[in-house]
C-alpha cells in the first residue's frame, strides 16, 4: 500500500481501514442472483434511472486485495478492515482472510455474505467475513486518529512524516471512499489529507 512501516514497529500503533459507500444491490436473473456492477449491468441500470458509475463493487475487491497484500498486514499491524455500504450495512473483514483474486469469485462470496450474514474459513468455525452492528466507530480503539483521503483537501502531506508525527500510542484509521465519483462526508473523521499514497490507492483501485 505504501504506508511506511518497518519490522521493528510491530508493537507500535495499529492500523484500521474503513472502505465507505459500497453500492451493494442484487439483481435476480432467472433462478440466480447477481451483484449489480457497471460492467455487466450498465443497460439495466440506465433503464432504471441509475448511474452505472455508482455500482462498482470491483473497487471494493481491488481495494481489499491491495490492503490484505500490503506490508502493513504482513507485518501484523493491520487490526481490521471494515466495509460500509451506502445503505449503512457494516461488514467486518479479518486481516488473515484470503479474498478471491478474480472478481467473479469475489462477487459470489459477497452474494453468500448477503444471504448468510457471515462467511467462515474453510475447515474452521471462525467467521472471516461477517455483517456486524453499526456504528463503525464503536469498533475503533479509544486512542486513534481517523484520517480521510480526499482530493479536495488542501493538506498535501508526505506519509512518512505524517505517520511519524502521530505518535506510537495512537492507532491509525484510514478512510477511503468506495465510489468512482464524489467524496466521502463523515463527521467522525479527524483530518482530511491528500498525498501521493492517496493517488496510488486511487490509481490501483480505479477510483480516479
pLDDT value at 140 more than 90: yes
Strand partners, 15: 78, 172
pTM for the whole structure? 0.78
In whole numbers, what is the pLDDT of the chain averaged over residues?
76
Residues 98-129: tens digit of each pLDDT: 999 988 888 888 888 888 999 998 777 889 99
User: Rounded to 10 degrees, what is the CA torsion of 40, 94, 66, 205?
Assistant: 40
Distance CA(179)–CA(190), nearest Å, equals 21
Q: Is 109 left (phi over 0), alpha (psi -120 to 50) or beta?
A: alpha
Return the C-alpha cell found at 121.
474459513
Q: In this structure, what are the phi and psi dihedrals at residue 190, rounded to the nearest 5 degrees?
A: -80, -35
Q: With residue 52 as reference, give the H or E element that holds it.
A: none
DSSP-derived 3-state class of residue 156: strand
Q: List domains and CATH numbers for the chain.
A: 7-205 (3.40.1280.10)
Distance CA(168)–CA(164), nearest Å, equals 8
Amino acid at each position: 500500500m505504501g504506508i511506511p512501516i518497518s519490522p521493528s514497529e510491530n508493537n507500535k500503533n495499529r492500523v484500521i481501514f474503513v472502505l465507505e459507500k459500497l453500492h451493494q444491490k442484487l439483481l435476480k436473473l432467472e433462478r440466480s442472483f447477481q451483484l449489480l456492477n457497471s460492467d455487466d449491468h450498465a443497460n439495466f441500470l440506465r433503464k432504471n434511472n441509475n448511474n452505472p458509475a455508482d455500482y462498482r463493487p470491483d473497487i471494493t475487491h481491488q481495494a481489499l486485495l491491495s490492503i490484505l497484500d500490503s506490508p502493513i498486514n504482513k507485518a501484523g499491524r493491520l487490526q481490521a478492515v471494515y466495509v460500509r455500504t451506502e445503505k449503512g450495512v457494516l461488514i467486518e473483514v479479518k486481516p488473515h482472510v484470503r479474498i478471491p483474486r478474480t472478481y467473479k469469485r469475489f462477487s459470489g462470496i459477497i452474494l453468500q455474505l448477503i444471504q448468510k450474514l457471515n462467511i467462515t474459513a474453510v475447515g474452521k468455525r471462525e467467521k472471516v467475513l461477517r455483517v456486524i452492528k453499526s456504528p463503525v466507530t464503536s469498533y475503533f480503539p479509544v486512542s486513534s486518529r481517523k484520517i480521510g483521503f480526499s482530493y479536495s483537501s488542501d493538506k498535501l502531506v508526505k506519509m512518512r512524516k505524517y505517520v511519524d508525527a502521530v505518535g506510537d500510542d495512537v492507532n491509525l484509521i484510514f478512510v477511503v471512499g468506495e465510489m468512482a465519483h464524489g467524496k466521502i462526508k463523515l463527521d467522525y473523521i479527524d483530518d482530511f489529507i491528500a498525498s501521493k499514497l492517496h493517488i496510488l490507492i486511487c490509481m490501483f483501485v480505479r477510483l480516479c
